[in-house]
Amino acid sequence: DAGITQSPRHKVTETGTPVTLRCHQTENHRYMYWYRQDPGHGLRLIHYSYGVKDTDKGEVSDGYSVSRSKTEDFLLTLESATSSQTSVYFCATSEPFPRTDTQYFGPGTRLTVL
Amino acid sequence: KNEVEQSPQNLTAQEGEFITINCSYSVGISALHWLQQHPGGGIVSLFMLSSGKKKHGRLIATINIQEKHSSLHITASHPRDTAVYICAVLGGNQFYFGTGTSLTVIP
């Protein structure tokens, strides 16, 4: 298994508070992704990074920001959490095509915003 | 409209049955992935395809680029195959995902 960890694994927070989720990889993969998974929607891309300090928005980026200061870490920040951001968040990594053989997923973070 | 559509959404099978899950996509792609999400939530990659057919054990994946369609087949299904199967396509730098097919295999 690829070495991808996420922290925390579970978090309960209140509306309006800032939240930061961390993704750490030991595979030296260039690309990293943050997704959210909600019933009926499947996985949706929030933001992705194609290198250190290089990031871009996905389809559901509103209310989220990211940072990648080194290859192994990709942070997702909710500046002011809302109940609509209650979800399961997955981090993933890959190499760019054609070196891509697959995406490797972290174990997920379950976030509840009250 | 989803770029990736899967069918069926839900599937229940008896142990030993042959199973087919379908995926259609509308974007230009460089590769297609089949993923498995276990009941505990973890996601693992089963296959990456850019053409033709691949086989791993009891799993077979095919892709028809002209028709923008892929199928995942499970031969001799087993209760441990119970999971959600997700089709994902790589278009540009992004992956687009189907909503998944929930498979339950009954002993």
Q: Could you write out the DSSP letters of every residue in A44-65?
A: EEEEEEEETTEEEE-TT-TTEE
Could you tell me how many CB contacts below 8 A there are between chain A and chain B? 53
Confidence of residue B28 (pLDDT cuts 50, 70, 90): confident
Is B25 in contact with B3 (CB distance < 8 Å)? yes
CB-based contact, A7 to chain B, within 8 Å: no
Is A88 in contact with A36 (CB distance < 8 Å)? yes
Is B96 in contact with B1 (CB distance < 8 Å)? no
pLDDT of residue A96: 75
**Closest chain B CA to residue A46:** B94
Q: pLDDT digits over A58-106, tens only?
A: 989 999 999 999 999 999 999 999 999 999 999 999 887 666 667 899 9
pLDDT of residue A99: 66
Q: What is the mean pLDDT of residues B5-34?
A: 94
Q: pLDDT digits over B42-94, tens only?
A: 899 898 888 999 999 999 999 999 999 999 999 999 999 999 999 999 887 77
